Amino acid sequence: MKVLRDESGNVVVLAALSITMLLSFLAFAIDVGNLFFTQSRLQTLADSAAMAGALEASACASGSPNCAVVQEAATTAITEGGSASPTVFTQCAAPSGTGLLLTVNNGPCALGSSDPNNGNASYVEAVVAEQKSTFFARIFGVDTVLVSARAEAGKSTANPCLLVTGTTNQTLTLNSGASIKDAVGSSCGVWVNSSSSGTCLGGTPAVMEDSGATVNVGSYDVHGNVCDNGGSYTPTPTTGATTVADPFAAEVTAGTLSVPTTTGMTTYTPSPIGSNTTLSAGYYPSGITFNGGTYTVTLNPGVYYMGGAVVIDGSVTLTGTGVTIYLASGSSLTMNSAATVNLSAPTSGNQAGMLIWQASSNTNAMILDSGSSASWGGAIYIPGTGAQLTLNGGSTAAAFGMVVVNDLMMDSALTLSCSLMPGGVCPGGSGSSSGSATVALAE
């Protein structure tokens, strides 16, 4: 009985069991780490293959996507990185076998209907896979694991005529009577960066479209979701689109555009204007008020740096060529009923193409009230977070330059073109006709 109760040696047994368990966990960690490393490498290859394929998607004949040039471009993107030539599978086929495996789908199909771009020949999907040997999992009968990565890329107009840059909340509101359309000879893009995913049933959508609103442009892309209450749209908005970077911010960084300053400017503090006159470029620390009446104010060429409100009352006509109006922080611009603006931007120099430029720190609204009319021969740039361009019912605006705004609310008509931008194109190459395109990863 004493022998049966003897516990000597139990510690050795427990230690052996513990060490075995620790070694098992260590072996598992080594295998998992190796698989994660492989998956990361395959993701880089998939990204490259999808981007290369998307660049060539337009080369396929109409109605015949996934042609040989798409397959070749995707394959070359992998081998140019130093990887072995993959085994290539046909459209939508599941990769299997040994070595590096590649399936190129144009349009995407790996995720089925859960992919918003499923079957869309404007997108190319690359699935890259590889059988990876395990080190220790083979003890449990797992000799290899199929590791895979997927990427999707599409060709899209990356610099539309109208870009709404706000990334959250409802940033494009098209009330009844709102109209966005191309000018004659243009095929513009409308792009909304907001990621808001609400629907008509709840939450906050990126775009709200009421009955009676119309959009008729070359392309219409929304990063988030759209609540459509019965408007008329050509084309139907594409949701889940990639975001587009602010081209003017990029041009400022690159030095192509220079943010206006008051350095060297003549300062003007005019009394409210009420009759025909001509104004000179310079610094207006208190802004300008144009009292109502039937008269014309001509702006000489140059930069008008506004430190206060610009108010254009009824029946006043504002005209000028080679003009940039810069709205510093705290300033604003309001066109009241029956006011008319007919201005064009400079075609060269530090502010080429920029007509109305609101400081990024300025969150005030720019308002066109009922009955007002604007012909903008250059860019309208309102980037401040929360800043809104408001086109109230009965007003009309024709923008012959790119419109980049944080938020847009419309009850009226907006016509788009980039024909009066330098070279007749929007920054980055999307112009007054079909424009150029860029490729971006969609997933």
pLDDT in tens, 253-306: 888 899 999 999 999 999 999 999 999 999 999 999 999 999 999 999 999 999
pLDDT in tens, 42-91: 898 888 888 888 877 766 765 678 888 888 888 888 887 777 888 888 88
Angle at 318 between CA 317 and CA 323, to 5 degrees: 165
Record the tokens describing residue 166, joined without a space. Answer: 């706000």
Rounded Cα gap, residues 220 and 243, in angstroms: 12
Global pTM value: 0.66
Record the tokens describing residue 282, joined without a space. Answer: 């310079």
Region 124-149: what's the mean pLDDT? 77
Res 4 pLDDT > 70: no
Task: Summarize the chain as % helix, strand, coil (round to 5).
Answer: 20, 35, 45
pLDDT in tens, 393-422: 899 999 999 999 999 999 999 999 988 888
CB 214 within 8 A of CB 233: yes
Q: Is the peptide bond before 235 cis (omega within 30 degrees of 0)?
A: yes
Res 430 pLDDT > 60: no
pLDDT at 23: 54
Work out whether strand 214-216 and strand 179-182 pair parallel, antiparallel, or are unpaired: parallel
Q: Tell me what percent of the residues of the chain surpass a pLDDT of 90.
A: 51
Helix (H) or strand (E) holding 216: strand 214-216
